[in-house]
Chain A
Amino acid sequence: MHSFGYRANALLTFAVTILALMCAMASLSDNLNSPSPTSQVQVLNINWFQKKLDGDDEVSMTLNVSANLESLFTWNTKQVFVFLAAEYETPKNSLNQVSLWDGIIPAKEHAKFWIHTTNKYRFIDQGSNLRGREFNLTLHWHIMPKTGKMFADKIVMSGYRLPDAYR
């Protein structure tokens, strides 16, 4: 510690190490948060339901998605990425997941929302298995931190069914 440069170096190294420790503790503090999110989705209308030229089914629907994700936010949350997926089983695949809509919630103030939209991404099956198909709509979210571990979870909403015939 005998010269200016020596002391400056020691101080900066120590400061950055302590900063890394603070970030690790901030990430660990996220585990203390016990979130209680809620969500609800209504399928308002099946706009059309066709078999495409290449043989795959496609459906377009209007959705009403409402959710309260405020309890997911902590002091260490940068944003929450949320997406809605249709999940169903076919003879060919035990699980199909098709993302219908997604969004980014940048702050707690925007975490309680209600949106009325057609599906942002196309709902296309691998094949022609959608007539009369029962499916779940699952709201997935990723809690993206400012520093440290990212948490992901979901809410499964079941009881949805596609029409028996094309429209």
Chain B
Amino acid sequence: MGDRSMGCLMDWQGQMLAEQLMQIMISSFAVMAFLGGYALDSFEIMLLVYAGVVVLTSVITVFNWPFFNSHPLNWLPQGGCEASKARVLSEHKPKC
């Protein structure tokens, strides 16, 4: 789905940020577009501004930008905790 090409997936904090950012951006800019269109007496202006807002928001929140991955998860190594323990005993370095 395009995630691999940008490196890691978004982390959980990033996902929450993306969702909140999306909702806040669209709703607040929609209010501004509505008031602007009403003041300028132009329905077309409201729709154009809103279309621009949606495009801008989708560029910012839908793609996997690096700032969405600032709290990356530390996944356990493959094989699970037991396998990792076995590996660790041979390396004298506890990991989990």
Contact = CB atoms under 8 A, between A and B. Distances in A.
A2 interface: yes
A160 interface: no
A2 B57 CA distance: 17
A119 to B, nearest CB: 35
Interface string B55-88: 0011001111000000000000000000000000
A94 B60 CA distance: 66
Interface string A75-92: 110000000000000000
Contacts of A21: 30
Contacts, number: 67
B15 A15 contact: no
Contacts of A147: 43
Interface residues of A, number: 23
* SS class, residues of chain B in contact with chain A: helix
Contacts of A75: 37-38, 41-43
Contact of A4 (B33, B42, B54, B64): B64
Interface in A1-26: 1-5, 7-8, 10-12, 14-15, 18-19, 21-22, 25-26
A76 B38 CA distance: 9
B30 A3 contact: no
Contacts of B41: 75
A21 B15 CA distance: 26
* SS class, residues of chain A in contact with chain B: helix
Contact of A2 (B2, B9, B37): B9
Given A2-B9, A10-B22, 19 more contacts: A1-B19, A2-B15, A4-B1, A4-B62, A5-B1, A7-B18, A7-B61, A11-B57, A11-B58, A11-B62, A14-B23, A15-B26, A22-B33, A22-B50, A25-B34, A26-B34, A26-B37, A76-B43, A146-B43
Interface of B: 1-3, 9-10, 15-16, 18-19, 22-23, 26-27, 30, 33-34, 37-38, 41-43, 46, 50, 54, 57-58, 61-64
